[in-house]
Structure 1
Amino acid sequence: MASNSSVTEAVSLGLCVKDTALSLTEQILSLFYILSPHEHTKDNAEDVPNYEVTLMPAIGLLVVLEQIIRFFMNKDLSRFQDIVINIGSALLFTLCRTLLLGVVIIVFTYINENYRIVDLPLHSIWTWIFSLLLVEFTYYWTHRALHEINILWAAHSFHHMAEDVNITTTVRDSVVDLILYDIFPIPLAMLIPPPILVVHLQFSLIYQIWLHNEVVGNLGFIEYIINTPRQHRVHHGKNPYCIDKNYGALIMIWDRIFGTYQTEKEKIVFGVVSPTPKTFDSMTLQFGYYKDVIKKFNEVQGIGNKFSALFKGPGWAPGKPRLGLIKEVPEPDPAAPKYSWDPYIPLWKKYYVVIHSTIIVVAFIQLADHPYIRYSAFKGLVAILYIIFVLTSIGTIFDGRKIGPYIEIIRCLIYFPFDYYFVASVEWAIDSNDWFVLNSSLWIIRLTHVLSIIFWLSYALFSKDEKPLPQKISLNDMESDDSLAKPKSSTFEKWLFALGILTTFLSISFLYIYNINSCRSITHVVINWIKTNLLTFM
């Protein structure tokens, strides 16, 4: 019997490994828009998944691979705090997408059923290709509008404030960007069946994930057809020759046709021309530029000029062309510091953020596209507000603000009613093993938050070395912080941080494998072993 059991477990393990490899391979290919039209064309738009959630494990793998390649190419690794801010923005963006997707599907379906111009066959490769070209055309003009209309640039500038382009920069989008990306394509519903339209709208953005990196060079003739990292780096440059260029998502033909195509020339400096706020507060970064828009609107005289301040380019001023004068864009100083805001952040703070970020990301992957949230606007709104508070708290920790510990204590306290409302009070239809995983995970997370509250209370009471920043952080707050020394981290701190990264990797890997059906028997064996030994120990 023991022999038969071992054989069964070995077969199950082999099947699990095979299915995991196939699933991950399919996900990675999807990131490059390599999809099966047959498999991804649903009969109903409501059945189209939120791919930005389901593809998160593959995106995470791409993030890790990029950093490994950067290491072997002797390039600096991406800043930890930038990766956290970018991923945090992605969670907010994707949660909003989850709620908005339902509304968008209703609107698309209504327009298609009542005002469609042509009847395209749903399960046709030609409909798929035609739809892709139309979505790409619409994305080109939407993206161009985000750059050339000041009130829209106020939303999109957050994406371009990234001074280091890496995989996570892709998901550094504002909530307003998301709304615009879903509003502009509405007329396409008169031509494209909604189940196909919803797929292409998502993958038009998802494809761009691999475009944001500095490790892929010239790809030759393929760059005449599709967008590549080398071409997209131009789009993110603040060099004068890079401004307002290369808007395409998947294909570059629209840039070539409409005169916005630009090849990479001298070294590109990433970022925006206007000053970047000196803060890691996500809400200030996402919405701070609106203050500049309002200021310009109030300063110019006359209704025509005020209209221009909103709807002409960011570089416009009275007497100048619609998009301003490119000769007024300064050449970036290659010798200047790479980052406009780079205060010292000790590794223990990074470790703390890693642990709590892991908790949030794991919960997000499980719940974000769950019908429990997808079809409940109120629950989605509560989750959005919580993520905003999390990002605000992390920003205060990274900025080293004196109020940071108190904000984080409040955030940890808020977690408990959030836990009860979203998880503990729900009667989940799950088996005993799933219940054990859920319940034990919840108690570990609750204990983590209790210990965090105790830690930050102690830190606030006894720590004297925190250097507070000005209480008001704005676009005009450009005081230098060069006086802050950056001591080397201890070996203990480095190992602690490495442990945090390993915890994140193992948690997400276990979650990914646990959700693959053929792996359930293997994971259940592990869970039963843990349960047995835990009870013995207790």
Structure 2
Amino acid sequence: MELYAKALSFAIPFFLLLIIIEEFAARKMKKQVNRGMDTISSLSSGMTNTLKNLMGLSIAIVSYAWLVDKVALFDIKSTFLVYVLAFIGIDFVGYWSHRFDHKVNAFWNRHIVHHSSEEFNLSCALRQSISAIIGIYFFLYIPMAFLGIPAEVVAIIAPIHLFAQFWYHTRLIDKMGFLEHIIVTPSHHRVHHAINDIYLDKNLGQIFIFWDKIFGTFQEEREEEPPVYGVKKPVNTWNPLIINYVHFWALIQDAWRTKSWWDKLRIWFMPTGWRPSDVAERYPWAYWKNAFDQVKYDSKPSRQLLVWSWVQMIVAFGMVFHVLISFVNFQYLEVMLYAVFMMVSIFAYTSLMDKSKISIPAEVLRLTMGFGLFYWTGGWFGLDALIPGAGYTVLAFLLLSFLMTVWLIQKESKQSVKEVPAQSFAAGT
């Protein structure tokens, strides 16, 4: 985990730099690729995923190290070829796990947050799940384990493989010639993030596009069919913690409401979007039947709310970065408490972005936790050694945050939140 924290402390500033470059390039090209609230939501989602990983909230039913130790047929050394095989193997696993996430009702909840943005830009690449806690795809690693690819090689290649998926989340790069036949390009991935019927559940590859061509899930981006981004059943919130469980909650409701015991059991493993017929009739879902009818979610923030949301996100990022660079010096309990505090913080300010009144009790909890942590750590998790008076500065900001939230909720409640009209009612993914 220390290696993961160190890698992220280098990778995240690089990602942010590329996001800024993309925005400047888009403006020069007279294109809009970012919306303020959407970008804040994406970056905040990335922070929740980082915090979850730092807390170690990922459970492997069967670890790869155990698997390779038990079933390896060969004893191979860590040569360059082994690293290449590991990269290809991890990408093969990535294709199939990605495909299962798209095709199975319960598994879609593990992935919906990544597709929830109605924009397509580099920041939406950071929308990563906190709900995928249990590693259920260990069986996909069996071919690699049979070959005897060492666990330490997989541990090195896995984060590289993950980071390599960042760059192609952009609308600014057109088709890339012969590379379109080998790797996943921005054009391929625009298709993947689209809700157009022709594009749904296509181009599931993560680095290599040939998996899609081999297994029949490839779709080329068509000039006459511009991609429309998001999910068929819109999430209608900026809060990444809510987005992570919105589909799971819908499944729970359907399983509870249906009268059929068979449907209560099978709903979890049916194709994504499947619903019991009795529930679908009584409780229809609003979703975009025609992608081009989409009306993007917009909480219509005032300038004050938008600016304050950026301030909150920047402060939150600074705190998460503090956890990353100080991780090696923290006890596990300190990491857990800091991370929980940050989760509450992100929930509070993203709820405010939605103009939800739940942001006020969330801020009360955040403020209470802040004072408790200040007392417990005798400052703010050692930050005072780097920045004199940091602890008192944090407390002052938390108090200001509470007061700003109360004021903004009162102010913004006078404006109506934009309602997304229902275009049709049926099961959608």
TM-score (norm 1): 0.67
Give the equivalent residue in structure 1 for 2:194.
237
State the Cα distance separating 1:91 from its structure 2 match: 1.3
Give the equivalent residue in structure 2 for 1:360.
316
Q: 1:183 to 1:357 in 2, by over 3 A?
A: farther
Separation (CA, whole Å) in 1 of partners of 2:84 and 2:241: 38
1:71 aligns with 2:71: no
Q: 1:399 to 1:407 in 2, by over 3 A?
A: same
Separation (CA, whole Å) in 1 of partners of 2:378 and 2:76: 43
State the Cα distance separating 1:182 from its structure 2 match: 7.4
Q: 1:333 to 1:396 in 2, by over 3 A?
A: same
Q: Aligned pairs, how many?
A: 408
- Contact 2:33–2:119 (CA<8 Å) still a contact in 1? no
- Contact 1:48–1:199 (CA<8 Å) still a contact in 2? no
State the Cα distance separating 1:247 from its structure 2 match: 0.6
Give the equivalent residue in structure 1 for 2:238.
280
Q: 1:183 to 1:134 in 2, by over 3 A?
A: same
Separation (CA, whole Å) in 1 of partners of 2:374 and 2:317: 15
- Contact 2:169–2:190 (CA<8 Å) still a contact in 1? yes
Give the equivalent residue in structure 2 for 1:219.
176
The one-letter code sitting in structure 2 at the alignment partner of 1:291 is W
For residues 238-275 of structure 1, give each alpha carbon's deviation from its aligned partner in whole angstroms, at most 9, with x where no partner exists: 1111111111111111111101011001111111122x
- Which one of 160, 164, 170 corresponds to residue 207 of structure 1? 164
State the Cα distance separating 1:222 from its structure 2 match: 0.6
1:333 aligns with 2:292: yes
Give the equivalent residue in structure 1 for 2:267.
309
Separation (CA, whole Å) in 2 of partners of 1:450 and 1:300: 46
More helix by share: 1
The one-letter code sitting in structure 2 at the alignment partner of 1:269 is V
Q: What SS does the aligned partner of 1:209 have?
A: coil
Q: 1:381 to 1:255 in 2, by over 3 A?
A: same
Pairing of 1:402-413 with structure 2 (within 5 A): 402-413=357-368
- Contact 1:246–1:262 (CA<8 Å) still a contact in 2? yes
State the Cα distance separating 1:132 from its structure 2 match: 0.6
Separation (CA, whole Å) in 1 of partners of 2:159 and 2:362: 35
Give the equivalent residue in structure 2 for 1:150.
105
- Contact 1:402–1:468 (CA<8 Å) still a contact in 2? no
Give the equivalent residue in structure 2 for 1:294.
252
Separation (CA, whole Å) in 2 of partners of 1:67 and 1:73: 10
State the Cα distance separating 1:303 from its structure 2 match: 5.8
1:93 aligns with 2:52: no
Q: 1:131 to 1:295 in 2, by over 3 A?
A: same
TM-score (norm 2): 0.83
- Contact 1:159–1:169 (CA<8 Å) still a contact in 2? yes
Q: 1:268 to 1:47 in 2, by over 3 A?
A: closer
Percent identity of equivalent pairs: 21
Give the equivalent residue in structure 2 for 1:348.
304
- Contact 1:164–1:270 (CA<8 Å) still a contact in 2? yes
For residues 316-350 of structure 1, give each alpha carbon's deviation from its aligned partner in whole angstroms, at most 9, with x where no partner exists: 4679xxxxxxxx9833225x43x1x2022122222
State the Cα distance separating 1:439 from its structure 2 match: 2.2
Q: What SS does the aligned partner of 1:90 have?
A: helix
Give the equivalent residue in structure 2 for 1:522.
none
In structure 1, runs of 5+ residues without a counterpart are: 1-44, 320-327, 429-433, 471-476, 481-538
The one-letter code sitting in structure 2 at the alignment partner of 1:140 is Y
Give the equivalent residue in structure 2 for 1:168.
123
1:136 aligns with 2:136: no
Separation (CA, whole Å) in 1 of partners of 2:154 and 2:172: 32
Give the equivalent residue in structure 2 for 1:452.
401
Structure showing greater Rg: 1
Separation (CA, whole Å) in 1 of partners of 2:376 and 2:391: 13
Q: 1:468 to 1:118 in 2, by over 3 A?
A: farther
For residues 123-181 of structure 1, give each alpha carbon's deviation from its aligned partner in whole angstroms, at most 9, with x where no partner exists: x1001001111101011000000001100012312221211011111121221236448
1:438 aligns with 2:394: no
- Which one of 371, 390, 394 corresponds to residue 349 of structure 2? 394
Give the equivalent residue in structure 2 for 1:467.
414
- Contact 1:238–1:270 (CA<8 Å) still a contact in 2? yes
The one-letter code sitting in structure 2 at the alignment partner of 1:467 is K
- Contact 2:113–2:240 (CA<8 Å) still a contact in 1? no
Separation (CA, whole Å) in 1 of partners of 2:404 and 2:54: 35
Q: 1:108 to 1:354 in 2, by over 3 A?
A: same
- Contact 2:192–2:199 (CA<8 Å) still a contact in 1? yes
Separation (CA, whole Å) in 2 of partners of 1:308 and 1:253: 33
Answer with 56-65 or 348-357: which moved more: 348-357
Q: What SS does the aligned partner of 2:291 have?
A: coil
The one-letter code sitting in structure 1 at the alignment partner of 2:337 is V
For residues 60-95 of structure 1, give each alpha carbon's deviation from its aligned partner in whole angstroms, at most 9, with x where no partner exists: 001101111111121124111112221212112112
Separation (CA, whole Å) in 1 of partners of 2:4 and 2:76: 18
Q: What SS does the aligned partner of 1:333 have?
A: helix
Separation (CA, whole Å) in 1 of partners of 2:32 and 2:6: 33
State the Cα distance separating 1:393 from its structure 2 match: 0.9
Give the equivalent residue in structure 1 for 2:372.
417
Q: 1:125 to 1:102 in 2, by over 3 A?
A: farther
The one-letter code sitting in structure 1 at the alignment partner of 2:267 is A
For residues 436-459 of structure 1, give each alpha carbon's deviation from its aligned partner in whole angstroms, at most 9, with x where no partner exists: 633244443333334434555666
Give the equivalent residue in structure 1 for 2:212.
255
- Contact 1:90–1:171 (CA<8 Å) still a contact in 2? yes
